């Protein structure tokens, strides 16, 4: 288990390079990726339905992208 | 994570032992002094068992209770641990840092019968100490696993004697690579990220299917992307298998080649046959010379010259007598012929008549008879005289110098005998070398190497092919993805699903980027830091010019091999490093890994300085006990050291150790004072690394210059 700080720093750097879909997208993406990794860590300790949880996080992020783009239109 | 203290009950001989840990940032080292058999390994195991339970035990069939515990009697074993942990979490895009205090207790009851333990289920309780009091943690195992994963226990809890998992010659090359890769993966959470990537890809695939349910180009392209993605994953997996197989074959080929070279070096048959023929010739020549000299020697012993050599004086004296007789006219005798002539002439020299019947003739005839009687003797003397004259003349010109001839023969015989012995010895040696060559063995080794070489070539070709396939499929995938994205944009019905697909792609791109960073950049950082630490530990002659240094550094290759550099050469740490340097390399790797990963957890090492002395011992201790800099997180190191490990580094421990105490086995044979107890146990005293007391005093304490901490004598 790396210092979460180390992984978080790496995630931040990568998020900074992604296309901005809406205002605050970078922070939202950082939170989504961090949450996904937390679910993965939990799954390693005790089995969970991690696939569904990952999908849920992605759908939530995707829905935000969709709503913001509809608002713009 | 930072340990504060532990309490161990009935774990082996640790009957009732309290252990403190230094939490002083400036003096982060805890030293537990203990000789062999004084509980070091038991303590190391107990701490791990406290955190991880049965998973931490190497052998579940070994009892945890002490051997003196009565068979069939339940023994309650427990480890209590007080520790802190600092957690980093991200909430709404903000990082939060919080330090929490915990109390952990793990308990089990064990009964030993017939030498085999039966243990109850472990009871574990974990409390968080808050301002509101102690709060029970409902899922203690999960939290402990998150704080310090059991997969990493051998990184943070190290038995110095066994700290060689990464460079042990007992492991194959691919096993060692796996160890190194797994350690890096575990500490950098690469496994977690890999799982996340796989799960996000599945979400992506399912979203593509949703877009495909609309039909047309979208469905077709979605399907193609899916197929190509699956194909690429299969090829990557195959590539990894081939790479691992290639590594093993390379090692086997090197081994086979080495075996063949060794067999060939034992002897070149043709050359040896030539040498044998040559030495046989010399042998025959020496034997012939010796035979000739032997004849010459015999001849000398039979020769007249020997007589002269032995009787020179007497023979010369005899010759002188004969010469005297000759000079006196006694020899040779000439009177008889003259008298006969006179008788024939019947007239004496004096003129008297010597006719027949005369008295003068009768006197002359009587004289002739008398002379004839002594004539034979005279003749012999005359002959002897002549012979003696000739022999003496020959001896005087040196023809009969027997002594010098004998000396020459003896010298020659000695020299040729030496030549003969040397030739025989050489013949023996060459014959032995010829016997040592096992032609069959060489041919077999040659065939083996060829066979492995052939398999190696095939594997390389397979790898090239698979790499080509990966590149081609990757290219096709990129092209199809582009087309797919273009088509999706145009389709209105898919906007929501498209947005979710976009989210999946963004998340995937972030995770892939993090993975590349961790695997690439961090591996380089771990390698670089390991190199710095290793060179510092072994004081790799940094003051000497590059070409004078034996070891110039160490690194981890992209294939996860740990290698050591010596100038332009790469050394194999399994066989070309001494024991102290191997340990130093292992510590350097572990330290670099934990530093680069920023992991804050106690590093507990049992007997780290064994096999070390001098500057390597000092270098290793200096590095592993150094306090953190201002920008680094807190550090905690606990070392279990014997007296001999502590010797000559006491000053470093004075500076760095925040806590020092001693553990002693009450049944140790070399204690100065007897302990009153009906069974052996481990006891603690507050003696530091420079002290002794009635509890821990040993017979050889004077050797280490220890001073008494108290005035109480032994009882």
Q: What confidence tens digit (pLDDT) does each residue in B61-108 have?
A: 899 999 999 999 999 999 999 999 988 777 767 777 888 999 999 999
Measure in Å the smallest separation between the Cα of B510 and chain A Cα atoms: 5
**What is the DSSP track for A2-69?**
--HHHHHHHHHHHHHTSPP-STTHHHHHHHHHHHHHHHHHHHHHS---HHHHHHHHHHHHHHHHHHHH
Q: Does the structure show a pLDDT above 90 at B573?
A: no
CB contact under 8 A, A5 and B506: no
pLDDT value at B165 more than 60: no
| CA distance to partner chain B, nearest, from residue A11 (Å) | 6
**pLDDT attached to residue B167:** 61
The structure's pTM equals 0.63
pLDDT of residue B545: 52
Q: Are B200 and A11 within 8 A, CB to CB?
A: no
B434: helix, coil or strand? helix
Chain B residue at shortest CA distance from A15: B510
Total length of chain A: 73
Determine the Cα–Cα distance for residues B307 and B310; give it in Å rounded to an integer: 5
**Bigger pLDDT: B431 vs B663:** B663
| Residue B551's pLDDT band (cuts 50, 70, 90) | confident
3-state secondary structure of B158: strand
Q: Do B142 and A42 touch (CB under 8 A)?
A: yes
Report the C-alpha gap between B355 and B370 in whole angstroms. 20
| B170-184, B447-461, B612-626, B654-668: least confidently modelled range | B170-184
pLDDT at B540 over 60: no
Is A73 part of the contact surface with chain B (CB cutoff 8 Å)? no
Burial B255-272 (b: 16+ CB within 10 A, else e): ebeebbeebeeebeeeeb
Weakest mean pLDDT among A47-51, B133-137, B380-384, B405-409:
B380-384
Q: How confident is the model at residue B164 (pLDDT cuts 50, 70, 90)?
A: low
Strand partners of residue B3:
B83
ipTM of the complex: 0.97
What pLDDT does B331 receive?
74
Which run of H or E residues covers position B604?
strand B603-606
Place of tokens 């003797």: B377
**3-class DSSP string for B164-205:** CCCCCCCCCHHHHHHHHHHHHHHHCCHHHHHHHHHHHHHHHH
Across the interface, whether the CB atoms of B503 and A59 are under 8 A apart is answered: yes
Query: Per-residue pLDDT for B178 more than 70?
Result: yes
pLDDT averaged over chain B? 86
Contact B684, B663 (CB under 8 A): yes
Cβ distance A33 to B507 less than 8 Å, yes or no, reads: yes
Q: How far is B181 from chain A (nearest CA, A)?
A: 14
Phi, psi of B78 (to 5 degrees): -150, 155
Are the Cβ atoms of A2 and B188 closer than 8 angstroms? yes
- The pLDDT of residue B333 is above 70: no
| Lowest-confidence region among B229-233, B297-301, B689-693 | B297-301
Question: Which run of H or E residues covers position B99?
Answer: strand B94-113
Contact call for A14 and B199, based on CB within 8 A: no
Record: contact B496-A7, CB cut-off 8 A: no
Contact state of A58 with B189 under an 8 Å Cβ cutoff = no
B246 contacts: CB under 8 Å, gap ≥ 6: B456, B459, B460, B463
Across the range B478-483, mean pLDDT stands at: 93
Give me the pLDDT at residue B227, please.
94
Taking CB atoms and an 8 Å cutoff, what residues of chain B touch A34? 89-90
Whether residue B600 contacts residue B2, with contact meaning beta carbons closer than 8 Å, is answered with yes
- Residues B304-326, mean pLDDT to the nearest whole number: 82
Q: Residue A19 pLDDT > 90, yes or no?
A: yes
Confidence of residue B162 (pLDDT cuts 50, 70, 90): low
Lowest mean pLDDT among B369-373, B488-492, B494-498: B488-492
Q: How far apart are CA A20 and CA A22, in angstroms?
A: 6
**Interchain proximity A34–B90, CB inside 8 Å:** yes
Task: Say if residues B202 and B590 touch (Cβ distance below 8 Å).
Answer: no
pLDDT of residue B82: 96
Count Cβ–Cβ pairs < 8 Å, chain A vs chain B: 158
DSSP reduced 3-state for B8? strand
Of the candidates B657, B674, B661, the residue with the CA atom closest to the CA atom of residue B713:
B674
Which percentage of chain B shows pLDDT scores above 70? 91
Cβ-based contacts of A65 with chain B (< 8 Å): 499-500, 502-503
Which of A22, A33, A46 to mutate to probe the B interface, most B CBs <10 Å? Answer: A33
Set of chain B residues whose Cβ sits within 8 Å of the Cβ of A29: 506-507, 510
CB B287 within 8 A of CB B403: no
Distance CA B366, CA B431 (A): 90
Q: Do residue A58 and residue B146 have CB atoms under 8 angstroms apart?
A: no
Could you tell me if B684 and B662 are in contact, meaning their C-beta atoms sit under 8 angstroms apart? yes
Whether B561 shows a pLDDT value over 90: the answer reads no
Q: Which residues on adjacent β-strands are paired with residue B31?
A: B639, B660
Say which residue, B139 or B416, is predicted with more confidence: B416
Distance CA B41, CA B62 (A): 14
Beta-ladder partners of B97? B88
Judged by CB atoms closer than 8 Å, whether chains meet at B186 and A1 is answered as yes
The token pair that represents B53 in the structure block = 């339970």
Per the structure, the count of domains in chain A is 1
Q: Residue A56's pLDDT band (boundaries 50, 70, 90)?
A: very high
Domain boundaries, chain B: 191-271+438-515, 274-427
Q: Taking 90 as the threshold, does the pLDDT of residue B196 lie above it?
A: yes
A70 contacts B598? CB cut-off 8 A: no
**Who wins on pLDDT, B127 or B169?**
B127
B194 contacts in chain A (CB < 8 Å): none
Nearest to B495 among A6, A30, A66 (CB): A66
Both tokens of residue B168? 């042990």
- Overall average pLDDT of the B611-636 stretch: 83
For residue B539, what pLDDT is reported? 67
DSSP letter for each residue of B471-496: HHHHHHHHHHHHHHHHHHHH-GGGHH
Which residues in chain A have Cβ-Cβ distances shorter than 8 Å to B195?
Answer: 40, 43-44, 50
- The residues in A 28-57 lying below 8 A from B, measured between CB atoms, are 28-34, 36-37, 40-46, 50-51, 54-55
- Strands B14-20 and B2-11, how do they pair? antiparallel
CATH number for B191-271+438-515 (one of 1.10.340.70, 1.10.287.1490, 3.90.1150.10, 3.40.50.300): it is: 1.10.287.1490
B502: nearest CA in chain A? Answer: A62
**Residue B401 — φ and ψ, nearest 5°?**
-80, 80
pLDDT of residue B541: 47
Looking at residue B169, its pLDDT comes to: 59
Number of H helices, E strands in chain B: 20, 18
């Amino acid at each position: 288990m790396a210092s979460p700080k180390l992984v978080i720093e790496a995630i931040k750097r990568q998020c900074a390079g992604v296309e901005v879909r809406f205002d605050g997208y970078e922070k939202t993406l950082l939170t989504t990726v961090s949450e996904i990794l937390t679910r993965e860590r939990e799954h390693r300790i005790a089995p969970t339905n991690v696939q569904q949880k990952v999908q849920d996080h992605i759908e939530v992020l995707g829905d935000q992208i969709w709503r913001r783009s509809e608002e713009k239109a | 994570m930072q340990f504060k203290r532990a309490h161990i009950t009935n774990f082996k001989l640790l009957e009732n032992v309290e252990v403190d840990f230094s939490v002083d940032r400036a003096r982060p080292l805890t030293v537990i002094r203990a000789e062999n058999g004084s509980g070091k390994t038991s303590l190391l195991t107990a701490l791990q068992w406290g955190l991880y339970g049965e998973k931490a035990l190497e052998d579940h069939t070994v009892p945890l209770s002490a051997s003196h515990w009565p068979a069939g009697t339940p023994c309650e074993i427990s480890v209590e641990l007080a520790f802190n942990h600092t957690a980093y979490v991200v909430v709404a895009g903000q990082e939060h840092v919080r330090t929490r205090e915990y109390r952990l207790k793990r308990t089990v009851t064990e009964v030993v019968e017939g030498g085999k333990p039966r243990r109850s289920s472990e009871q574990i309780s974990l409390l968080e100490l808050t301002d509101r009091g102690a709060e029970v943690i409902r899922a203690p195992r999960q939290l402990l696993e998150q704080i310090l994963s059991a997969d990493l226990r051998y990184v943070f809890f190290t038995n110095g004697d066994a700290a060689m998992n990464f460079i042990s010659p007992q492991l194959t090359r691919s096993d060692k690579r796996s160890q190194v890769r797994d350690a890096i993966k575990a500490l950098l959470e690469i496994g977690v990220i890999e799982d996340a990537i796989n799960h996000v890809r599945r979400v992506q695939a399912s979203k593509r299917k949703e877009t495909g349910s609309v039909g047309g180009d979208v469905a077709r392209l979605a399907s193609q992307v899916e197929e190509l993605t699956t194909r690429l994953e299969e090829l990557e997996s195959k590539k990894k298998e081939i790479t691992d197989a290639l590594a093993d074959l390379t090692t086997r080929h090197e081994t086979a080649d080495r075996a063949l070279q060794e067999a060939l070096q034992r002897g070149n048959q043709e050359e040896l046959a030539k040498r044998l023929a040559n030495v046989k010739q010399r042998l025959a020549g020496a034997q012939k010379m010796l035979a000739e000299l032997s004849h010459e020697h015999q001849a000398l012993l039979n020769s007249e010259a020997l007589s002269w050599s032995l009787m020179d004086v007497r023979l010369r004296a005899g010759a002188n007598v004969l010469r005297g007789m000759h000079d006196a006219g006694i020899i040779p005798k000439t009177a008889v012929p003259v008298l006969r002539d006179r008788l024939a002439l019947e007239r004496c020299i004096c003129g008297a008549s010597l006719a027949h019947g005369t008295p003068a003739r009768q006197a002359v005839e009587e004289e002739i008879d008398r002379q004839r009687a002594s004539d034979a003797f005279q003749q012999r003397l005359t002959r002897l005289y002549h012979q003696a004259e000739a022999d003496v003349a020959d001896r005087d010109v040196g023809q009969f110098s027997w002594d010098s001839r004998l000396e020459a023969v003896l010298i020659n015989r000695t020299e040729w005998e030496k030549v003969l012995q040397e030739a025989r010895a050489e013949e023996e040696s060459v014959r032995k070398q010829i016997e040592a060559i096992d032609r069959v063995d060489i041919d077999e080794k040659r065939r083996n190497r060829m066979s492995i070489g052939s398999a190696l070539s095939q594997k390389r070709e397979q790898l090239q092919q698979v790499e080509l396939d990966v590149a081609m499929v990757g290219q096709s995938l990129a092209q199809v993805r582009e087309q797919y994205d273009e088509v999706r944009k145009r389709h209105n019905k898919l906007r929501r699903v498209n947005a979710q697909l976009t989210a999946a792609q963004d998340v995937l791109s972030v995770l892939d980027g993090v993975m590349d960073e961790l695997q690439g950049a961090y591996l380089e950082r771990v390698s670089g830091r390991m190199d710095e630490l290793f060179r510092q530990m072994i004081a790799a002659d940094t003051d000497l010019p590059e070409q004078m240094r034996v070891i110039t550094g160490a690194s981890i290759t992209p294939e996860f091999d740990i290698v050591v550099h010596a100038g332009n050469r790469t050394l194999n740490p399994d066989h070309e490093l001494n024991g102290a340097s191997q340990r130093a390399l292992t510590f350097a790797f572990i330290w670099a890994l934990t530093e680069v990963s920023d992991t804050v957890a106690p590093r507990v090492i049992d007997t780290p300085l064994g096999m070390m002395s001098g500057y390597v011992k000092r270098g290793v201790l200096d590095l592993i006990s150094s306090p953190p800099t201002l920008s680094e997180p807190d550090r905690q190191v606990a070392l279990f050291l014997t007296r001999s490990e502590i010797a000559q580094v006491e000053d470093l421990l004075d500076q760095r150790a925040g806590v020092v105490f001693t553990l002693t086995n009450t049944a140790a044979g070399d204690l100065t004072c007897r302990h009153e107890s009906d069974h052996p146990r481990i006891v603690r005293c507050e003696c530091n690394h420079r002290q002794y007391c009635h509890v821990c005093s040993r017979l050889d304490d004077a050797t280490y210059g220890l001073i008494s901490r108290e005035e109480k004598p032994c009882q």
